[in-house]
Amino acid sequence: MQTTRAIVLHEGLRLPDDLANMAEKPLPRLIAHLDMDAFFASVELLRFPQLQGLSLVVGGRSKSIAHQMDRLLAEYGSHERIAADRMPRLRQYQGRGVITTASYAARAFAIGSGMGLMKAAERCPEAILLAADFERYRDYSRRFKAIISSHGLAMEDRGIDEVYIDLTHCGDIDAAQDLARHLQSSIFDATGLSCSIGLAPNKLLAKIASDMQKPNGLSLLTAASIQEKLWPLPVSRLHGVGPRTAAKLQALGLHQIAHLAACKASDLQAHFGLAHGRWLIDASRGIDERPLVLASEPISMSRETTLERDMHPKQDRLELGAVFTRLCQQLAADLQKKERLCRAVSVKIRNDQFKTSTRDLSFAQATDDPALLRHWASQCLKRFNFDRRIRLLGVKAARLIPKHPKPASPAATLSALHDEDRRLENRALNLPEQFQPFEPTQHPLWPELEPIPRPPDTWE
């Protein structure tokens, strides 16, 4: 059995020469990370202003909670008139949903995004619980991003509530801070929502900075302030260090980012591999050369659901089959809405012991058809070992291509086809067995999920 030994740190840690020199020069880049404050909860507070200052949690899909809100809305006539003491409480929730977001008042009870609602109820039973309204959140997301775009700024869209903005053109930090404050006030005036902004020479540091003075904060993190502001933070604050990596680092005696920065690259690479070990060293020293991605195409789309109860793969196969079909239909609708076709699918299963497994496969004929998606996804099921109850089920479409591609020149088309053939050959030679092409077969446990269809005439 392999044991974990603590990594010996360098003595007399100081800023590397290249970063020390950078600290004395004008910033080569100036990147802002703009993050909306408790976005979903804040949007709900616009609709329910009577909840300002109260503990509010958004999440879950409880039908009883939804029906309670419908009755209250019918009784009071409008959202803002509903008495706060009549609204659903977290202690009422029964199920396995998780928190989507929580207000800052609720966060004071050590609850936050991703936490199970039942666990959160133990800490703050009187918090008000609202179901998520993603259409409303997407609308407000479009609004705040439109304001940024109206200023003619180069922006990388990172999700529903955050963006990176290139402010290098400002020339100096003072001008960038003035523009950042102007963006904050413009967004608030137009939407009633606050945001926090981090300014730094790269995306990694900007994201860390935006979280330093929430809500409505403006923070600066440069090479000159890495020792003071970055190194005292726990390793988990590095964007890209998840719970497992953080736990492994802590087992090695590396608790603060300063400890990471003091390591030899070879020591970290022995535990995390060449690329990841090198990245950990660079990130701990504030090094990040990634450019802003100003326009990108989605590389995958997915749908998943946490089941209301742990389901037995055999005893509950009909109910699981219905969930599986619904996920495939929803995924197909997402592809059709975005006008994308997929050439690969994967299935994700999390069991009642929280072990997550995925299986995937590729196919030649790109599709957005729900029946075909379900057919190919069902083929992934045959690779799972169904020895535990199922907690979560998900389906993902990958290797996306436009449904209506722009015409390309004949030479470019032939080159692309050649590259794709070569890529597929390399894939077949190098991928492990579970990713190799195979003949579609029925799953021995869920045969009724997918009778094998006769392939269309267009298939080869």
Please tell me the distance from the alpha carbon of residue 351 to that of residue 387, in angstroms, as a whole number: 9
Give the three-class secondary structure for 338: coil
Give dist(CA 103, CA 114) in Å, integer: 14
β-strand 56-59 against 218-220: which pairing, if any? unpaired
- In 10 A of CB 342, how many CB atoms? 24
State which amino acid sits at residue 126: E
Quote the tokens at residue 47: 């609709």
Let me know: does 203 contact 154? Beta carbons within 8 Å: no
Report the C-alpha gap between 237 and 121 in whole angstroms.
26
Query: Quick one: DSSP state of residue 349?
Result: E
CA neighbor of 293 nearest in space, from 149, 147, 158, 152: 158
Q: In angstroms, rounded to a whole number, what is the distance separating the alpha carbons of residues 35 and 343? A: 34
Place of tokens 């996306």: 400
Transcribe 91-102 into DSSP letters.
GG--S--BEEEE
Provide the CB-side half-sphere exposure for 196 (13 A, CA).
18
Distance CA 138, CA 70 (A): 22
**Angle, alpha carbons 369-371-374 (nearest 5°):** 105
The answer to whether residues 443 and 382 touch, using CB atoms and an 8 Å cutoff, is yes
Question: DSSP label at 436?
Answer: S
Asked whether 324 and 395 are in contact (CB, 8 A), the reply is yes
CA distances from 272 to 207, 245, 285, 290 (A): 23, 9, 17, 21
Cα 91 from chain centre: 28
Q: Which of 159, 197, 37, 162 is nearest to 101 (CA)?
A: 37
Q: What is the amino acid identity at position 272? A: F
Q: Are the C-beta atoms of 40 and 100 separated by less than 8 Å? A: yes
- DSSP H helical segments within 124-273, as ranges? 134-150, 173-191, 203-210, 243-251, 257-261, 265-272
What one-letter code names the amino acid at 303? R
Q: List the catalytic residues.
A: 162
Joined together, the tokens standing for residue 375 give 């057919």
